[in-house]
Amino acid sequence: MSSRTSGSRQDRVAELSERIGRDLATKTVLFHHALAGRLGLGATDLKCLDLLRQTKTPMTATGLAELTGLTGGAITGVADRLEKAGFVERVRDPDDRRRWELRPLPGRQHDVAALFMPLATAMSELCSGYSDGELDVLADFLTKLGLIMDDQTLRLRGKVFPTTSPPASS
């Protein structure tokens, strides 16, 4: 937030929403675009790779398409690029040759980690200026914000059922 300490709560919430919803979100997209470019990928490819790594289990192309909201054709393109760059392998289902899973490969993970290291270091330095209690509040806020983003993404895709209702903070 800005250095000002006056203003209504409504003004502060609006400013926070603007900083997160536009400023930080845009800077995050641009960062991931630049990082992906250094790896010879597109930002969508990199984020799909992140999702594959987060699930920790092989995922089908259909599963990844459902998770991302991308079409099957778009996911095929992502898989082609990730496989060609050595980030994933495709494994066919022996019972259904039309079905295949994407499995992240460990070989190029160090390339990704090396590009994230300066950001991780800078974030660690930033966090050193906050108390443990303040960090707990920030972590709680970001967790709840993530759940809200999941809900809003589903809403925009026409799936109106909420995944969560984060409790109000005291």
Q: Rounded to 5 degrees, what are φ and ψ at 101? A: -110, 150
**pLDDT on residue 7:** 82
35 domain-assigned = yes
Q: How many domains does the chain have?
A: 1
Residue 62 lies in a domain: yes
Name the band, by pLDDT with cuts 50, 70 and 90, for residue 73.
very high
* Strands of the 96-104 sheet, one edge to the other: 59-60, 96-104, 88-93
- Can you give the CATH number for the domain in which 56 is found? 1.10.10.10
Instruction: Answer whether residue 86 is part of any domain.
Output: yes
Max CA pair span of the chain: 65
Does residue 55 fall inside a structural domain? yes
Query: Does position 1 have pLDDT exceeding 50, yes or no?
Result: no
Question: Domain for residue 3, yes or no?
Answer: no
What pLDDT, in 10s, does the model give residues 126-141?
Answer: 999 999 999 999 999 9
Residue 138 located in a structural domain: no
Model confidence at 165, pLDDT cuts 50, 70, 90, reads: low
The token pair that represents 75 in the structure block: 């996911």
**Model pLDDT for residues 113-122, shown as the tens digit of each residue:** 999 999 999 9
pLDDT confidence of residue 64:
94
> What's the domain range around 97?
9-129
pLDDT of residue 99: 83
The pLDDT assigned to 58 comes to: 81
Q: Is residue 146 part of a domain?
A: no
The per-residue pLDDT of the chain, averaged, comes to 89
Looking at residue 100, what is its pLDDT? 87
Give the pLDDT of residue 159: 76
Asked if residue 142 lies in contact with residue 169, where contact means CB atoms within 8 angstroms, the answer is: no
Say how many C-beta atoms besides its own lie within 10 A of residue 49's C-beta: 24
Distance, in Å, from the CA atom of 44 to the CA atom of 49, rounded to the nearest integer, reads: 9
What percent of the chain shows pLDDT beyond 70? 90
How many other CB atoms are found less than 10 A from the CB of residue 30?
11
CA distance 104 to 111: 14
- Show the tokens assigned to 161: 């059922």
CA distance 82 to 49: 8
Q: Is residue 82 part of a domain?
A: yes
**Does pLDDT of 87 surpass 70?**
yes
pLDDT at 31: 97
Asked if residue 92 has pLDDT above 60, the reply is yes
pLDDT digits (tens, 9 = 90+) for 12-56: 999 999 999 889 999 999 999 999 999 999 999 999 999 999 987
